[in-house]
Amino acid sequence: MKIAYLISQYPKVSHSFIRREIAALEAEGIQVVRYAIRSCAAELVDEADKRELEKTRFILEAGVINLLVNLILVAITRPIRFLATLWLTMKIGWGQDRGLLIHLAYLAEACVLLGWVKASAISHIHAHFAFNPTTVAMLCHELGGPTYSFTVHGPEEIDRAIILSLAEKIKRATFVAAISSYCKSQLYRWCDRAYWSKIHVVHCGLDELFLKHQLTPIPDNSQLVCVGRLNEQKGQLILLEAASQLAREGLEFKLTFVGDGDFRPQVEHAIAELELENQVEITGWVTNSQVSQYILNSRAMVLASFAEGLPVVMMEALALGRPVIGTYIAGIPELIEHESCGWLVSAGSVEDLASTMRTVLRLPVNELEHMSQQGREKIIQQHNISVEAKKLIALFRESKSKTSSQIVNLDNRLLKEVHPSTIQ
């Protein structure tokens, strides 16, 4: 079976989970062709991502002229399909925040993709995130391309369900993967009940690099780590306010932000304003192995997010044997059990966060290690990428089987209409 993966930007620093998923599919004998809308090669630091870059084809690198040429060719060679897809494009683009012009650009991208998947004999397209990749995959299918499915992560996709025409995308897809039960329930909100059976939980997962990692003792230090893109919804400013409380109390600690992003100037300003220069540092983008080392050098990881799907970095920390502080939002409570493998605090509460950080810094190491063992066992049971990849493969094959059956039924019906006596 030969499928295509379509992502807005791939490879990407924050998309190592997609790379693991593709590798797990290929280990099971599935051929995966990588497509992305655009490249973000300049920010890549990990060698594994750089290798993926060489395997990925980027639609926008075709150039404006080729986009227009492909649009015209498809319009001429597939006029009925093109008009139907143009109508769909206008339906989902009219009056939306990105506007009709952007959606017409998606249509041109879908025409380029159509030529690529036909030339490569792709039988199915799977997109990650319900944004433009899924839009392009849906339009490509409407033009006569292969079936498509997509993975929803949240929270932006759920928050913008109407703008993204999420119900339309679910309706036309063969299946939809949700990364958590919470995400699945939210998709139920935005589509007709007739399509609920299309939605399946397929977790993001970890590979053997994490699952077979030899547990190391938690260091008896005062180091905490926060890993992720510097972004307003990640709650980093709340985390700094909580850290400021601990600093004013005279509690010794070191907090490291591992990551980067457009929100970095605001984070740096808050560090200076709260006089936390001696307690807080920002590393910028680092390799995956460096991320793991920062986690291992800490006694716990903390994420104070206001909005999340189900952070893969939390899984990584638990697999490496470090407990996690998270918030009571989205799919996080499905991963973190309060005072079992970590702690859950109210999102946006400086007081709750500071209190929990204080507890973690004072807790004996042997108690932290007991919690870390429970967290690791949960990851092994629920977030093994090999197991999750097999779920995807079953869904790919099921969708292919259904499509083949539909084609046969259509052919028989057409044949019966032309030669009624040939079909009994």
DSSP 83-147: HHHHHHHHHHHTTSTTHHHHHHHHHHHHHHHHHHHHHTT--EEEEESTTHHHHHHHHHHHTT--E
Crossing angle of helices 47-55/16-27, nearest 10°? Answer: 60
Residue 358 confidence (pLDDT): 98
Q: Please check whether residue 330 is in contact with residue 183, taking contact to mean a CB–CB distance below 8 angstroms.
A: yes
Q: 68: which residues sit within 8 A by CB, 6+ positions away?
A: 108
What's the average model confidence in pLDDT over 250-264?
97
Tokens read off for 397: 């094959």
pLDDT digits (tens, 9 = 90+) for 186-196: 999 999 999 99
Overall average pLDDT of the 21-43 stretch: 96
The residues pairing with 150 across neighbouring beta strands, listed in sequence order, are: 127, 176
Q: What structural domains does the chain harbor?
A: 2-205+385-418 (3.40.50.2000), 209-382 (3.40.50.2000)
Phi, psi (rounded to 5 degrees) for 225:
-135, 140
Give mean pLDDT, residues 215-240: 96
pTM comes to: 0.91
Q: Roughly what angle, to the nearest 10 degrees, separates helices 99-119 and 63-77? A: 80
Question: Tokens 């973190």 belong to which residue?
Answer: 336
Mean pLDDT across 139-161: 96
229 pLDDT above the threshold of 50: yes
CB under 8 Å to 191, separation ≥6 — which residues? 166, 167, 170, 171, 199
How is 351-389 classified by DSSP, letter by letter? Answer: HHHHHHHHHHHHS-HHHHHHHHHHHHHHHHHH-BHHHHH
State the DSSP H helix or E strand holding residue 258, giving kind and residue range, or none if neither.
Answer: strand 254-258
Going by pLDDT thresholds of 50, 70 and 90, the confidence category of residue 225 is very high
Phi, psi at 399, each rounded to 5°: -65, -35
Tell me the helices (H) and strands (E) count for the chain, helix number first. Answer: 18, 13
Minimal CA–CA distance to 49: which of 291, 257, 213, 388? Answer: 291
Sheet holding 31-38, edge to edge: 56-58, 31-38, 2-9, 124-128, 147-152, 176-178, 199-201
- pLDDT for 13: 87
Overall average pLDDT of the 305-318 stretch: 96
pLDDT band at residue 96 under the 50/70/90 scheme: confident
Mean pLDDT of the chain: 93
In angstroms, the CA 88 to CA 90 distance is 5
Cα–Cα distance between 323 and 371 in angstroms, integer?
Answer: 6
The encoded tokens of residue 218 equal 């938690």
